[in-house]
Amino acid sequence: APPRQINIAVIGAGGVGSCFLSQLAWLAKNQKSTRLSLCYIATIDGALYSQDYADINIETALPTLEAKGYALPSVAETIEYLAGAPHKVILVDNTSSGAIAEAYPEFLRRGVSIITPNKKAFSGSYELWQDIFSAAQSGGSMVYHESSVGAGMPVISTLKELVQTGDEVTRIEGVFSGTMSFLFNQFSPTTGQAGKWSETVKKAKELGYTEPDPRDDLNGLDVARKLTILGRLAGLPIESPASFPVQSLIPEELNNCATRFEFLSRLHEFDDRMENKKYLAKKAGKVLRYVGSIEMGTRNVKVGMEMFDPTHAIAALKGSDNIISFYTKRYGEMPLTIRGAGAGGDVTAMGVTGDLLKILCQM
């Protein structure tokens, strides 16, 4: 029999999306039992698709889109188009769009499965979260978002397995941001000298470790979103990332800076504050790290700076690595810990491609 066919639609082809396309091209070549047929690809600048859902060559999809793309259809039009495809459809959302995230329930109800690194839908309102999973059930579709926490590392799948095999998660703790990891590993190292806080932030930006606007990392929201996702998966009905304390590292006086350039040029005025925090940690024989934690028993969720013993796994982190520890009944005092690269196009795309395989296995 000829191999079965699955239609793939990709929205977003930036840092993660372009790496995903390379991985998809490899998979399409090496996957014998299923023919993966790209029928739709879009960026903010336009879309490429045809009314008969003809195959788009994955390897040349991006340059073809740039040369021959049409105007970007509305989200509603995209849903209609994909719901009418001749085969089962998997939508890959590689954007950080809130509008697309809000439409997940509609895609899912119409039978379109979704895989994505986009955190917005899963860390938005609790109502949207519930709507997504009930829509998937009623539409016979699936939704996976491994890369929304810890890039390609198996963080979400591990937590799901702990819960679904009857273990009891008591506490989740870790460093969830590649940017924050780099900043604190540099600013508060376990050995050796360190520069000033504002210099460290500038260096991280120059090396490409921060968002284009570093304030988007320093406000802690990225970490708060990831904790919201993990907390919900562990069973806490967290209302939103704004419903628990998140320590912003943007000095209050700079909250109203008009541009990131003004922010970066004035950050040094507040170096003393961070220096003082580091000094207090040092006096206690410790280092500073920016962490998030969820205490299941007390439902206490928090995000911010804390002091750690230099021998603690969180203190010993390198580069921009993430570390996530699950404390459970089964694992006892030594948590199940996952550590490794938590940011970057290729490793984040791997989580998305892995999700694609999970869906293929179940279709």
Contact residues toward ligand NHO (CB under 6 A) are: 11-17, 42-44, 72, 94-97, 99-100, 117-119, 147, 151, 177-179, 222, 342-345, 348
Whose Cβ is closer to ligand NHO: residue 100's or residue 296's?
A: 100
| Smallest distance, ligand NHO to C-beta of residue 332, A | 29
Q: What tokens does 194 get?
A: 């360190």
- Residue nearer to ligand NHO on the CB measure, 120 or 278: 120
Residues listed for the chain: 363
Q: At what angle do helices 271-283 and 197-206 cross, to 10 degrees?
A: 110
For ligand NHO, which residue has the nearest CB?
Answer: 14
Q: Quote the least distance from Cβ 206 to ligand NHO, whole Å.
A: 15
Q: Find the catalytic residue in 120, 202, 226, 278.
A: 226
Give me the least distance between CB of 200 and ligand NHO, in Å please. 15
Q: Are 16 and 92 in contact (CB under 8 A)?
A: no
Rounded CA-CA distance 98/13 in Å is 16
Beta 113-115 vs 143-144: how paired, if at all? Answer: parallel
- CB 48, min distance to ligand NHO, A: 12
67 class by beta-carbon count within 10 Å (0-12 exposed, 13-18 middle, 19+ buried): exposed
Q: 97 or 190, CB closer to ligand NHO?
A: 97
Q: How far is the CB of 213 from ligand NHO (least distance, A)?
A: 12
* Cα 179 from Cα 321, distance rounded (Å): 9
226 assigned to active site? yes
Minimum Å distance from CB 293 to ligand NHO? 17
Q: Which is nearer to ligand NHO, 35 or 203 (CB)?
A: 203
* Interacting residues of 242 by C-beta distance below 8 A, sequence separation 6+: 224
> Is 151 or 296 the residue whose CB approaches ligand NHO more closely?
151
The whole-angstrom separation of Cα 90 and Cα 201 is 39
Residue whose CB is less far from ligand NHO, 117 or 286: 117
Catalytic site residues?
226
